[in-house]
Amino acid sequence: MASYVAVLPNDVLSPSSSNSSMSFLRLPHPRTGIPSLFLPYTPTTSDAKGKSKETGSGILEVHSISPTNQRSWFLDDGADEVIENGSLLLMTPIDPAFLLLPVLIASMPKDGTQGTFRPPDDLFEDSLEKYIRSTASIIDSKDPSSEVNVADLRTFGEMECVKLALRRICEVKEITPEITVLRPSQSQLITYLCSKVARLTASTKSSTLDNSPTILRSLAKDGLLEDGKEELLKLGRTRAACDLISQFVPPPLYKDLLDTYDFTALDTYLTSIQPPPIPEDAGKPKKKTKGSNDKNDDNDTGKKRKATKESTGVEKLKKVNTKGMAKLSSFFQAKGKGDVNNYANRLQRITPGKACAGGSASDPLFGNKPLCLECTRKYISILMQDVTNAPHGSHAAVLVAREYAPASKGFACLAIFEDFVRFDVHRA
């Protein structure tokens, strides 16, 4: 037999004979109509001498909390027992009137007319038959758990707490002191639920709303706990109580319960404190139209950027003297031959003068025309400027000297040029 770890009232574990014979019942849940487990039990109280005394009957709703991963319980009760099933069962008392709602609503006339008065046993049996017929079409034959156990419903109807709850949610008429007849009524259901709301919203030490951190945080988040919002706080507490009751009533009945209260002021206030909705196209790029002026947009952007205060580091960089420094783009230029060609293009701007006719050196850049000393100095001055600024200037200057002024052809003033190259190489 499988074992479980459960949290339940002490009354269930009392040694009374009535509790020892109780078994679980599969009843329709009042909100969803899905068959769920409930456990009948007999509450007990202690008198002045410490003796326990039974006080009618009650019923517990069974909740199962299952972990996402497979786990087990290790019980240190002297026997070092291990419970393979790691789920936790919580058994909490529930008002049997809630469990009667699905059955009674099925017996109410759909045209809004009032039904007839009947004895409690006849009323429950007739309502049970109508409920079974109304749910026959939604039962899944492949899932036995979706079928309501009629025997459990009849056992539930025979409980003393159920007979008392039937009187609270139906219209009651006493024919004689021994004969009492009942009639289901929508207005009586709403009146009973409103009494539940009033009990929940009452400010007492044992109040559910005052002892619930979740509800108090929700009210504080909406600013209803601030001074001067007492009326809004009452409406907020009332709605919170209705939300709690909604877990145990069918959705149509919950809607009818909300309609009995006027939450207009509360809804208006909650709407006013909500942040404005984000447009759907807020994250999309702005489309440019034919008539839009890009220059104006750039100017506007520039103005906004100018208005932005720059950091201290940027201000210091502006004061640095950048004269003679290479540009950032120069670091991405090709090495070697590419720099040689750049120097060659600069040298082509030198036009040999008439004095060059008597020179003894020649250069292919000038069509093998002779270069004089003056032209060679111009040659060197331009190269000096390029070598100083270019990142690979020293290496490129040597390549120019070798390709455009080979030693085999001779070069007037070549020694001057080579001295400059050696100086620049050592300096770098």
14's torsion region: left (phi>0), alpha (psi -120 to 50) or beta? Answer: beta
Question: 233-263 burial by CB neighbour count: b if 16+ within 10 A, else e?
Answer: bebbbbbbbbebbbebbbeebbebbeeeeeb
> What is residue 362's predicted lDDT score, i.e. its pLDDT?
45
Q: Which of 389, 399, 396, 384 has the alpha carbon at shortest distance from 329?
A: 389
- What is the secondary structure of 84-137 as a DSSP string? S---EEEEEE--HHHHHHHHHHHHS-TTS-----B-HHHHHHHHHHHHHHHHGG
| Enclosing H/E stretch for 394 | helix 393-404
3's torsion region: left (phi>0), alpha (psi -120 to 50) or beta? Answer: beta
As beta bridge partners, residue 82 has: 74
- What is the secondary structure of 271-340 as a DSSP string? HHTSPPPPPTTTTSPPPPPTT--HHHHHHHHHHHHHHSPPPHHHHHHHTS--TTPPPGGGGGS--THHHH
CB 241 within 8 A of CB 201: yes
What does the DSSP 8-state code read for residue 79?
A: S
pTM: 0.61
As beta bridge partners, residue 53 has: 45
Q: Which residue type occupies 225? A: L
As beta bridge partners, residue 183 has: 171
| Enclosing H/E stretch for 263 | none
3-state secondary structure of 26: strand
3-state secondary structure of 222: coil
* Residue in the structure block whose two tokens are 């104006």: 296
d(CA 54, CA 406): 122
Where do the domains of the chain lie?
5-184, 201-272, 333-427
Question: 295-322 burial by CB neighbour count: b if 16+ within 10 A, else e?
Answer: eeeeeeeeeeeeeeeeeeeeeeeeeeee
CA distances from 138 to 33, 99, 101, 315 (A): 11, 19, 18, 77
Q: Which of 150, 145, 117, 113 has the alpha carbon at shortest distance from 131?
A: 150
pLDDT average per 10 residues of sequence, the chain (428 residues):
83 66 87 91 73 76 89 80 88 94 88 84 91 76 72 92 93 88 92 94 81 89 89 93 94 94 93 80 62 53 56 75 68 51 48 43 46 58 56 50 44 45 41
Q: Which residue type occupies 103? A: V
Q: Which residue type occupies 270? A: L
118's torsion region: left (phi>0), alpha (psi -120 to 50) or beta? Answer: beta
Q: Which of 313, 194, 283, 210 has the alpha carbon at shortest distance from 245?
A: 194
> What is residue 14's predicted lDDT score, i.e. its pLDDT?
66
- H runs (alpha helix) in 136-229: 150-157, 160-168, 186-201, 213-221
d(CA 38, CA 13): 16
> What is residue 329's predicted lDDT score, i.e. its pLDDT?
66
